[in-house]
Amino acid sequence: MLENYFPILLFIIVGLAVGIAPIVLGKVVAPSRPDAEKNSPYECGFEAFEDARMKFDVRYYLVAILFILFDLEIAFLFPWAVVLQEIGLFGFIAMLVFLGILVVGFVYEWMKGALEWE
């Protein structure tokens, strides 16, 4: 009965070894010479001047969400392009509708000023 679980146990042990070995190897082999400059806080090329828990402007999140949205939508174009020969005219028209909706959304957010940064 236990011999059935041996491959699972072996898989877990190898997985843990692959995850832990590079960390241990890095600690052992890498040089460690901390100094005041390395331990100082660093933020975007200049010293941190506010608390790390400060609130960000909502526009930052809006631009980030819009980027992710359109980036993921563009990712749908690659599989569509691969199978375009197989799906024919119906697939082409469906993708035109999809891209039309994307363009309408993009124009709407552009007109609303969501992409403006002051």
SS3 98: helix
Look at residue 66 in the predicted model and tell me its pLDDT.
81
d(CA 81, CA 83): 6
Better-predicted residue by pLDDT, 72 or 104: 104
Tokens of 39: 């331990």
* Residue linked to tokens 């930052």: 60
* Nearest C-alpha neighbor of 116 from the set 48, 72, 51, 66: 66
User: What is the distance between the terminal CA atoms of the chain, rounded to a whole angstrom?
Assistant: 68
Rounded to 5 degrees, φ, ψ at 9 are: -60, -40
The CATH topology of domain 2-112 is Methane Monooxygenase Hydroxylase; Chain G, domain 1 (1.20.58)
* Predicted confidence (pLDDT) at residue 1 exceeds the cutoff of 90: no
The pTM assigned to this predicted structure is 0.48
Q: For 67-87, what is the mean pLDDT?
A: 86
* Predicted confidence (pLDDT) at residue 80 exceeds the cutoff of 70: yes
d(CA 21, CA 26): 8
Q: For 22-46, what is the mean pLDDT?
A: 81
Instruction: Return left, alpha or beta for 117; rule: phi > 0 is left, psi -120 to 50 is alpha, else beta.
Output: beta
